[in-house]
Structure 1
Amino acid sequence: MRIAIAAAIVMAATSVHAACPDAAAIGRFVADYKSLTPARSFGPGLSVADGLCAQDAIVAALSADLGAPVGYKVGLTSKATQDRFKVPHPVRGVLLEKMLLADGARVAVPYGAIPVMEADLLVRVRDGAINDAASDLDVLRNLSAVVPFIELPDLAYAPGELLDGGNLTAINVAARLGVVGADIPVEATEAFAAALAAMKIRMVDDTGKQLAEATGAAVLDHPINVVRWLVQDLKANGRRLKAGDIISLGSFSPLLPAVPAIGRTITVEYTGLPGGPRSVSMALVAKGN
């Protein structure tokens, strides 16, 4: 494991010209991630580029258990979260195959060291031509679906540890799990683009209590803007989206602690897209039940 982590650090540092945390620090985080143990921060002074270098090594180490990359997640897609983490732009992480759970999943809590939940939305890439999209309609032409999604991040670090933009990026933007609903076909029209921004997104529990509410405009003013940001960020690092990739667009709700919701069924509802209301649900259960 230590050899694999060290090799991943060398390759990552070469690709982004960043200063990676050392192999021991990354190995310690990977061990803590796997054991659901609150981790130590990589410390102050870690830039987002440094964090991406660490992320590459961590993702490589986790892939043996969690499967191959299937896409990306974009975080810090609102001014409030950017201000909180002191980064004036979004950041990206990688989604791995076994992180994704089916609609209706029973999710054992705690599923991470610091487990939280949020209303989210996925998009699915139809064609690699999205990397050269010149307009919003070009983006839509190269997406096949939008997909209801409850993300279940793990903030990972122990209370009091530094969690800024570089350290968030390093831990793969807190990716841990997510519950995936049914595809909603994309229409490459101005009307569909308008509906994406205007749709209402609500997170509720099985008692009917509303936990959060937002519109599609909550992420960079429009979900398409998140996709366009990711395309440019990947290009800057010599990477491209490909057909079949999925993209988590960010939080349409506050990060809500999962432990107090044990025993509840959580549903995120999407209203205003063609085809009528859609939703995705999960049941949170105590570990061992």
Structure 2
Amino acid sequence: MTRVIVFGLTAFVACVANAHHATVANFTQEIISVDGIVEQVRYQNPHTSFLISQISDDGKKSYWLLETVGSTALERRGVSRDRLLVGKKIHATGQNGRRQNTMYLHNLEYEDGRRINFFSVARPVSGEQIRAELTQMADDFMSYREMKGFLHEMNLADAYRWQDEMVKIMEPAMGGVVGYKTGGHDPGPGFATFPPEGIRAYLLEGMMRPSGTAVRVEEFRRGFLEADFAFRVGDSSINDAQTDLEILAGLDAIIPFAEIPDPYYEPDTRSINGTIVANMGTRMSFTGEPVLLKPTEEWLDKINNFTFAVYDENDVEIQSGQMNGWYEPITVVRWIRDQISESGKELEPGQLLSLGNIGIIRQLHEGSPRGPAYTSKQFRLEYHGLTDEPAIVIINIER
């Protein structure tokens, strides 16, 4: 390993005693893997913990502390204490800790090939049972209650099929599909609860708000302000387009876009499949006036190189950036198009395509482990360099 720390059994006990539910505060979104021998297991609440040892090439022994969900949650998922073996070599994968040689454990594999996924259910379950869980998740989300994590082990295609079911359950209250959103395509560290290649969710009519809408902090539970970028589908030819210019010809406008996701889950129960099935916790999206575009090389260059910034109500710049080096918008559109095609769908004229955050995120609530709360009364996103005037979308926050 590239990092070594002398970390003994006494320190292990002390670290476990000090562990709390603030997973985001103690662990990054970077996914890493380590190998070692299991020295000790503590099967307990609120966190189950492992101490594993490694021997370096020069014979020095070092330790890693691995934490994961508590014993109650593991029992519900069919992971009993006797499956966690002391003295065995493991390959562990999870979120890198902010403290040296610590990890939030997602999966482990023994030398004989046995694997444990700490965020999935091993026992079979019927479609009716899953549908009942989704109904409860949808009701909890729309009623501002914590969603229980979706803890079933399945492939991504099946997870997206259950996302379709979740959306059908939500449509009577939230309205029909008006587009799609995605995330995970920027060059930063991947999110532990996103598939490595990216994630996709639905935009529903009831989620949409015009620029300038005022919201109250109380309308969200774990919401955060996010600067995004979106297109509008103009023509069904986009479904067969090959080149970037052909894809651009299937789009008719850029939509200034910001959103407030609200991923409100029971602590330590969020997983990749759960994030997919819960439609990424999408709560509200805000749209500005469309910027009409043309399928030309000039517009491709503008789209790939424009700059952006967020300002508050006093015109103070909060943060700025540029699209170049973040993600290539047309490449992300192609990914959305291909991903929904695998699910048997096509893009339709008029649908919105939100391509994911562009690096500016602010928390709404005090005490968030992700950072301090945004205290200004306005979150104004501006795109510069697309037209002579900035393209704008505004979220007002009532204080």
TM score, norm. by length of structure 1: 0.85
Q: Which runs of 5+ in 1 are unaligned?
A: 1-17
Note the alpha carbon deviations across 1:233-258, whole angstroms, 9 max, x for none.
11111111011111111110254212
Note closer, same or farther for the CA distance 1:81–1:154 as it changes in structure 2 (3 Å cut): farther
Matching residue of 1:97: 205
Which structure has the larger Rg over C-alpha atoms?
Answer: 2
In structure 2, C-alpha distance between the alignment counterparts of 1:19 and 1:223, rounded to whole Å = 37
Matching residue of 1:252: 358
In structure 2, C-alpha distance between the alignment counterparts of 1:170 and 1:210, rounded to whole Å = 36
AA aligned to 1:243 is: P
AA aligned to 1:106 is: A
In structure 2, C-alpha distance between the alignment counterparts of 1:111 and 1:48, rounded to whole Å = 31
Q: Which runs of 4+ in 1 moved over 6 A?
A: 18-21
Matching residue of 2:47: none
Aligned residue pair count: 267
AA aligned to 2:156 is: V
Asked if residue 226 in structure 1 is aligned to residue 332 in structure 2, the reply is: yes
**Mean CA deviation greater in 99-108 or 249-258:** 249-258
After TM superposition, give the deviation of residue 202 of structure 1 in Å.
1.3
Note the alpha carbon deviations across 1:204-237, whole angstroms, 9 max, x for none.
2224444433322455x31111111111111111
SS of equivalent to 2:202: strand
In structure 2, C-alpha distance between the alignment counterparts of 1:33 and 1:52, rounded to whole Å = 18
After TM superposition, give the deviation of residue 50 of structure 1 in Å.
3.3
Asked if residue 107 in structure 1 is aligned to residue 215 in structure 2, the reply is: yes
Mapped contact 1:50–1:170 kept (Cα < 8 A): no
- Greater helix proportion: 1
Give 1:177's match in structure 2, choosing from 269, 284, 295.
284
SS of equivalent to 2:242: coil
**Mean CA deviation greater in 164-173 or 122-131:** 164-173
Note the alpha carbon deviations across 1:141-180, whole angstroms, 9 max, x for none.
1111001111111112133222x32221111122111111
Mapped contact 1:82–1:89 kept (Cα < 8 A): no
Matching residue of 1:267: 380
Matching residue of 1:12: none
Mapped contact 1:130–1:142 kept (Cα < 8 A): yes
Matching residue of 2:91: none
Q: Which runs of 5+ in 2 are unaligned?
A: 1-125, 366-372
Matching residue of 2:79: none
In structure 1, C-alpha distance between the alignment counterparts of 2:354 and 2:272, rounded to whole Å = 18
Note closer, same or farther for the CA distance 1:266–1:57 as it changes in structure 2 (3 Å cut): same
In structure 1, C-alpha distance between the alignment counterparts of 2:364 and 2:358, rounded to whole Å = 16
Note closer, same or farther for the CA distance 1:20–1:110 as it changes in structure 2 (3 Å cut): farther
In structure 1, C-alpha distance between the alignment counterparts of 2:358 and 2:343, rounded to whole Å = 27
Note closer, same or farther for the CA distance 1:81–1:247 as it changes in structure 2 (3 Å cut): farther
Matching residue of 1:141: 249
TM score, norm. by length of structure 2: 0.63
Matching residue of 1:279: 392
AA aligned to 2:333 is: V
Tell me the C-alpha RMSD between the 2 structures: 2.2
| Identical-pair percentage | 26
Mapped contact 1:72–1:94 kept (Cα < 8 A): yes
Note closer, same or farther for the CA distance 1:240–1:117 as it changes in structure 2 (3 Å cut): same
Note closer, same or farther for the CA distance 1:114–1:83 as it changes in structure 2 (3 Å cut): closer
Matching residue of 2:106: none
Mapped contact 2:194–2:275 kept (Cα < 8 A): no
User: Which gives a bigger RCO, structure 1 or 2 (Cα 8 Å, sep 6+)?
Assistant: 1
